[in-house]
Amino acid sequence: MDIVEGGPAAAAGHEAETGAGGEAGAGDVGLPQQGPAGEWEREPCPSDSLRTFGAFVQALREHAGLSRTDLGVRVHFSKHTVESVELGRRMPDPRFVERAEAALGNTGALRKAARHLTRGEPGLAAWFRRWARLEREAVSLCTYENRLVPGLLQSEAYARAVFDNSIPLLTDEQTEAQLTARMQRQAMLRDRPTVPFSFIVEESVFRRRLGGAQVQSSMLDHVLEVTAPRNVSLQVVPLASEFHGCLDGPVQVVETPEGRRLGYSEGQQNGRLISDPKEVSLLCRRYDTLRSQALNPQESRDLLERLRGER
C-alpha cells in the first residue's frame, strides 16, 4: 500500500513513505567536490541504481586484482570513498567515473551505467520506489485499500497521524520527510487531469477516527475535495456488503504508456511488484468484481457526506 511510501507504514510511512502511500525525487549523476580531499556528501537515501552501480565497480575492481586502497590511488579519491561508492552510499563524482573507467579496463561499461544513476527518494520505502516511478508515468491507476485512506487521498493531518502511529517511532525529521514526500506525490492528481485514477476503499476506513475526531473530519473534507475531478473516482465498499472480490487484501494496478498492466501488493515491511501477466490478470478480475460490488461514485460521496454530518 502506500505505506512507506510504500505500505500502511508507507500508507503510514517508513524509511520511505509507508502508510498507504510513497514519495520521492530523482537527481543527476555526480556532485561537486567538497572539502580539501575532494570528497562529496553521503547519500541520505541510497537508491537501487546506486547499489547496483557500486556492486559493478566492486566486481570490476576485484577482477582487476585491486584493493580499495589501490583503486583509490588510481582515481585520486580515498579508499573510504571507494568503499562508499561500492556500497551505494555515495553518488559517484563524474571524475570518479572517468578515472575508474580508465583503471578498470576502459570498456565504457561504467560510463554507460552512470547515465542511469538516480538519487534515492527520501520519504519513500525502498521497496516502493520502483512502483512510485511507474505510478508517475501510468496512463491509469487503480487502488483498493482496506487498512487506511490511500496515500494519494490523505489529508496532511491524517498523514501525520499515520506517521505518528509508526512503530518504531519516527524522529521529527523522518516524519517531516515522509509527510513532504506524501504531499508531493499527491500532486499527480492535480497535474495529470486526463489520467483516470480509481479508488475503492472500505467504509470502515472512513469511520476509523485515526488521530481523533477533528482529524477524521478534515480527512473526509479532503477526500471529497480531491475526488471531485472527473478523472478521479472513489467507490466505497459498505459495511453491509454481503460479497467481496478482494478478500486477499489491498492491491494496486497501473497501465503503462505501452499498454502493459502491472500490479503491486504490500504487506508488513515489504512490497511486491507483480509483472506476471496471469497474476496481473487475476488482480484485475478481482478489482473489477469489487468495483461492481461497491457503491457507485455518487452513492459513495453521499455516504461520506453523511459521515461528515455525524461529526
Q: What is the pLDDT of residues 106-115, one digit of tens each?
A: 999 999 988 8
193 and 224 within one domain: yes
* DSSP-derived pairing of the beta strands 197-202 and 140-145: parallel
pTM across the whole model: 0.67
Q: From residue 148, how far is each of 8, 27, 94 by CA, in Å?
A: 7, 31, 44
Q: What is the pLDDT of residues 242-287, one digit of tens each?
A: 999 999 999 999 999 999 999 999 888 778 889 999 999 999 999 9
Residue 35 covered by a domain = no
**CATH number for position 101:** 1.10.260.40
Residue 214 covered by a domain = yes
- Could you give the CA distance from residue 83 to residue 69 in angstroms, rounded to a whole number? 9
202 and 157 within one domain: yes
Residue 20 confidence class, pLDDT cut points 50, 70, 90: low
Query: Across all residues in the chain, what is the average pLDDT?
Result: 84
Residue 121 covered by a domain = no
- Residue 266's domain comprises 8-24+130-309
228 and 144 within one domain: yes
Q: Write down the pLDDT at residue 120.
A: 55
Query: Higher model confidence: residue 144 or residue 9?
Result: 144
135 and 108 within one domain: no
73 and 145 within one domain: no
166 and 76 within one domain: no
